Structure formats: structure tokens, C-alpha cells
Amino acid sequence: MAHKIELPRRTYVRTIYNFFPFPLSNSKKKFIGNWVLRGRKMESTNSFRLRKQALKPIETARSSASQRDEEEVSKNNGQRTCEEEPLSPSSRLYHEPNFNVYVIAIMGCKTRIYPDVVKANLGHTLLRHPRFSSLQVENNGEMRWVPTEVDLERHVIVPELDQNMDSPDKFLEDYVYNLSKTTIDKSQPLWDLHLLNLRTSQSEAVGIFRIHHSLGDGTSLLSLLLACTRQMNDSKALPTIPIRKKKDKKSDRIGIWRILLRFWFVLQVFWNTVVDVFMFIATALFLTDTQNPLKGLPGSESTPRRIVYRTVSLDDIKFVKNAMNTTINDVAFGMTQAGLSRYINRICSENKKDGGATETNNLPKSIRLRSNLLVNIRPAPGIQALADMMEKDAEVKWGNWIGYVLLPFTIAVREDPLDYVRNAKAIIDRKKRSLEAFCTFYIADWALNLFGIKAASALSHKVISRTTMCFSNMVGPVEEIGFCGHPMAFLAPSSYGQPYALMINFQSYIDKMTIVLSVDEGTIPNPHQLCDDIVESLQIIKDAVMTRGLA
């Protein structure tokens, strides 16, 4: 702290004289001296009052609101409150009867889960997000977020389990299956957490998050969940999510060649976008996938889902990626194409009257099979931003801005297994050079504003139901993390309520990749076989890489 130096009065006056560049007469010196000393006397008597006024905070609506928010947070056990605001059009879309989707996140833990510890942490993490402490109330045809006090006893469910049951893995699978038959009561915020202290083949206990899709898109919700976790080797550190660094493209081409390359890139983006938008409109009007063993029947959105998963080595996927100079997403897509081809080929061979061999090609000549990706074109908030929001009341952008991407799958029996990955890379590289997601978002937004929520819901339902499946690949933490202090063994996200019979999610965690299938058993009666086919396809592709000496 700086100290103020007080000078004697005469010395102070002489110091003032020195600032004048010309000599002063005695009368002028006397006048200046009396004026300065009188001013110093006034300062000494009024300085405390003036400084106190200068430091007084300015009362604004924002500061008052922040103070009230902090008081409300302390009263509500860490829960934040917010003003009422209307639901976004995309959030309202998920309340339509044919689009009532829930996100499921199965978390395997390495230790027993203590519910009291989880509840204590939720009050200071997840409940600080306004969406998780608000009701969705409809009034005069408009739905609004209405803040409420959350009763964690209604949201955190801890069933009593028989620890000596014969098949804990089957029990967990059936538990999630029965959960997909139900919805969450709208008299409370639309999320819940089921804690099962059940030892399975992969974990000592399991937590199941269920969140209505109107609260956010899958990527943002998963990021929010990870923002509630911390690294096990550092209780204050957030999970580390790898970010793909763009390669520095050093080119010797200068001048006209660089301009031509950029023009060619822009032309590709324009052409691919036009073709993709045309295919989207055609799908909304009439174009549907070929009937195949994976395509659901009308009404699939109301059927319960069997969610199964397998875990493979992420190092095996990276081994193929590095050998073929591709990405992890390319390999995941390629092994999925190979697995689906194996499964459909087997079904087609069983349906033949003469019982065709599964090793031969029993597929129809051409199969149109597409995946529908719902892409949030709003940049997803990072884990750090979400953690700051929950800890420091920072503001983040949140909400569904949904665009559509139609991803074609090539179903074929190939002699070279590596062709599945090469084909996958070609398809994904082409989709990267397209503005399909942005254009389809604006088409859906235009339909919503022009014709209303019912028409927008019908448009979305037609586009999705005329494709076969959904496919996604999400990146997870690279180190071990803990949820409320419980070390996590695996993470398996999925969903139910969507109008297709198959959904495939890839989720990485440390050195593992979990493949999660959500299926309608009426269409796919043997989901474990389909999951095994995808896993075996990775091994076949890896063996082919080693045989050819590409590694």
C-alpha cells in the first residue's frame, strides 16, 4: 500500500513556487501561499468524506440482480434461479408426440456409489445450470422455462438390489430397457439419475443419467456432464478432451495456382451443398431408404429400446488410423460399414430358401442405407466454460440449433477389408466440403416460422423416418476422471424415442472406445450379434493392415 508523504507547510509552498518558470513578486507569493494553504486545510477536513463517496459502488440493475442471485443460491443449496423465458423452437420440437427423445448416459464406476455424496455435489454443480432447475410450463400455447426449487429425492433414484443375482449384466440391460418405456413427469425438471450399486463385468456400480432432449443437444449435455467431473489425480482439474490440430499446409504454389485451388475448393463446396440440399428435400418429399433388416417400421419412436455396448481398444483404432493416414472417425465409420454389411449379409443368407452361405455375397444388388445426423450448428460450449458457469455464474451459449446431415453407408461384401475404411474416408471428406447442416437448419427454421411447430415436427419426422439409422462418434477424456469422487470405468451414451430402429454411438475414454447400440428389438431381435459384428470387423481390418505391412 502506498503511503502519502506530508510536507511542512512552508516547504510545500516553496515546492509550488518552483513550478513557475518566471520569478514571483512578494505580493504574488503571499497570495499563492494563502490560497494553497487554505486549499490544503479544506482537503484535510473533507478528504475522508470525499474518498468514501468515491469508493461507494454504483447501484445498477445488474449488480442488484447478482446480489439477489447469490442470496437465492445460498438459500437453495447452491441452486441458481433465473427469469422465465420461452423455450426455443428446437426445444419445443422435442415435445411433439413423434419426437419425444431422451438422452441416456450410462456411467460405470470402479467403486461403490454413495448417494449422499452425489446429492451434495449435484446441488453445487448440475443444479447451477438453469435448465436443470426449471420446469417447462405451457400457457396459452407457449412453453416457458419456469425456475423452481429442485427436490433431489425425486431426481436421484436408488433402487434396492439383490447383490446375489445370477446375471448382473442382464439385469442392468433390462433395467435400462424398462426405463425406456417411461417418461419423466413434467411437474419436475426433466432429468433424473439412477444409482445402481451393482457389480457388473465392467464396473462395481453404475449411474444412469436420463435427460430430456429439450434441455440440450447430446454433445452439449455430455460436455455438461463431464464438466461435473474432475481428474482422479487432481481433484481440481477438469477432464482433458483432445482437440485435433489442423495441419499446417505448406505449399510452394504461388500466384495463379493458389487462386485456382481456392476457386476449385469453393466450387466443390457449392456443388456438394446443392446436391446435399436436393437430397434432403427429396427425402422430405418421397425418397426413402431400401427396406432392409435394420430399417424400423412406422411407429418406432414409441417402442422401448434395448441398449447394448462393447468396449474395444482405442489403440487398435489408432493403429489402423496411423497405418492408413486417416482419422479415428474414418476408422469408426469404416468398421461400422463392415459390421453392418456382415450382419445384413447373414440375415439375407438365412432368408434364402436354399440357405446361402454366410461367407458369400447374399446382399441385394443395391441398398440405399443412410444415417441421419442431427447436428447442433451452434458451437458447443467447452467443458471449461460450463464449469465456469456452474462455479462463477458465467454466461454461456446454450440451446439446440439443429441441422441435418444425411450420411450414406455403403453395404457390400469386399475382398479387401481396408476398402471399408477407404470408402468411409471418401464419404466423410466429401461431407466436410459441404454446408448441408447450415442449409437444412435454415430450411427447418423457415418451415417452423412459416407453418408452425406441427409442420416442422412433421418435416423432421419424415426426414428421419425415411432413413435407416443414426451414427455418431464423440471424444471423451484422455485421463481417468471421477464423478463426485467416484472413479469412472466407462461411459456409454445413447438415447430413445427417436423414429428409427437403430442408433450407434462411439464414445472414447482414456485408452478405450465404447460402441453403444440402441435398437428396437422388433426390428433387430439380436442386437448383441450386430454389436459383435462391428467389433470383429475392427479386428479383421487390423489384421489386414498387419498382413500388408502397412504399419
C-alpha–C-alpha distance, residues 44 and 53, integer Å:
15
| Same domain for 406 and 346 | yes
Residue 515's CB is within 10 A of a number of other CB atoms, namely: 23
DSSP labels, 74-138: HHTTT------EEPPHHHHHTTSGGG--EEEEEEEESS---HHHHHHHHTTTGGGSGGGGEEEEE
| 376-380, 404-408, 453-457 — most confident range | 404-408
Instruction: Tell me the pLDDT tens digit for each residue of 60-70.
Output: 333 344 444 44
C-alpha–C-alpha distance, residues 54 and 47, integer Å:
10
C-alpha cell at 150: 429442485
Question: For residues 251 and 424, which has the higher predicted lDDT (pLDDT)?
Answer: 424
Last residue of a domain, one of 229, 247, 273: 229
pLDDT at 395: 58
pLDDT at 288: 95
Residue percentage of the chain with pLDDT more than 90: 54
| Same domain for 215 and 140 | yes
C-alpha–C-alpha distance, residues 470 and 518, integer Å:
10
pLDDT band for 13, please (50, 70, 90 cuts): very low
| Same domain for 274 and 194 | no
| Same domain for 451 and 414 | yes
Average pLDDT for 425-437: 94
- Does 468 score more than 60 pLDDT? yes
Question: For residues 241 and 50, which has the higher predicted lDDT (pLDDT)?
Answer: 241
Last residue of a domain, one of 188, 213, 229: 229
| Same domain for 522 and 413 | yes
Last residue of a domain, one of 229, 244, 279: 229
Residue span of the structural domain in which 310 resides: 256-351+359-475+500-546
- Does 334 score more than 80 pLDDT? yes
Amino acid making up residue 240: T
Instruction: Tell me the pLDDT tens digit for each residue of 517-526.
Output: 999 999 999 9
Are 538 and 337 a contacting pair, CB within 8 Å?
A: no
pTM, entire model:
0.81
Answer whether residue 4 is part of any domain: no
C-alpha–C-alpha distance, residues 228 and 235, integer Å:
11
pLDDT at 71: 46
- Does 194 score more than 70 pLDDT? yes
Torsion angles phi and psi, residue 405, rounded to 5: -130, 120
CATH of the domain at 202: 3.30.559.10
C-alpha–C-alpha distance, residues 191 and 155, integer Å:
7
Radius of gyration (C-alpha) of the chain in whole angstroms: 31
| Same domain for 290 and 219 | no
Average pLDDT for 367-380: 81
Beta bridge partners of 104: 210, 494
CATH of the domain at 300: 3.30.559.30
Torsion angles phi and psi, residue 309, rounded to 5: -150, 155
| Same domain for 221 and 335 | no
pLDDT at 190: 95
Query: What is the b/e burial string over 403-417, where b = at least 16 CB atoms within 10 angstroms of the residue's CB?
Result: bbbbbbbbbbeeeeb
| Same domain for 200 and 292 | no
C-alpha cell at 89: 423452437
pLDDT mean across residues, the chain = 82
| Same domain for 173 and 291 | no
Answer whether residue 14 is part of any domain: no
pLDDT band for 252, please (50, 70, 90 cuts): low
Answer whether residue 18 is part of any domain: no
- Does 361 score more than 90 pLDDT? no
pLDDT band for 9, please (50, 70, 90 cuts): very low
Residue 21's CB is within 10 A of a number of other CB atoms, namely: 5
Answer whether residue 44 is part of any domain: no
Nearest partner of 109 among 229, 273, 9, judged by Cα: 229
Answer whether residue 57 is part of any domain: no
| Same domain for 341 and 280 | yes
C-alpha cell at 332: 469408426
Answer whether residue 284 is part of any domain: yes
Return the residue matching grid coordinates 418451415: 447
pLDDT at 70: 44
Average pLDDT for 295-324: 94
- Does 38 score more than 50 pLDDT? no
C-alpha–C-alpha distance, residues 294 and 504, integer Å:
12
| Same domain for 375 and 434 | yes
pLDDT at 11: 45
pLDDT at 83: 62
Average pLDDT for 412-432: 95
| Same domain for 209 and 263 | no
Residue 447's CB is within 10 A of a number of other CB atoms, namely: 18
Total number of domains constituting the chain: 2
pLDDT at 31: 47
Answer whether residue 234 is part of any domain: no
| Ramachandran sector of residue 116 (left: φ over 0; alpha: ψ -120 to 50; beta: rest) | alpha
pLDDT at 28: 45
Could you list the active site residues?
Answer: 213
| 5-19, 238-252, 367-381 — most confident range | 367-381
- Does 218 score more than 50 pLDDT? yes
Residue percentage of the chain with pLDDT more than 70: 77
- Does 380 score more than 80 pLDDT? no
- Does 385 score more than 70 pLDDT? no
pLDDT band for 273, please (50, 70, 90 cuts): very high
DSSP labels, 334-376: HHHHHHHHHHHHHHHHHHSTT---TTS--S-S---EEEEEEEE
Answer whether residue 151 is part of any domain: yes
pLDDT at 66: 41
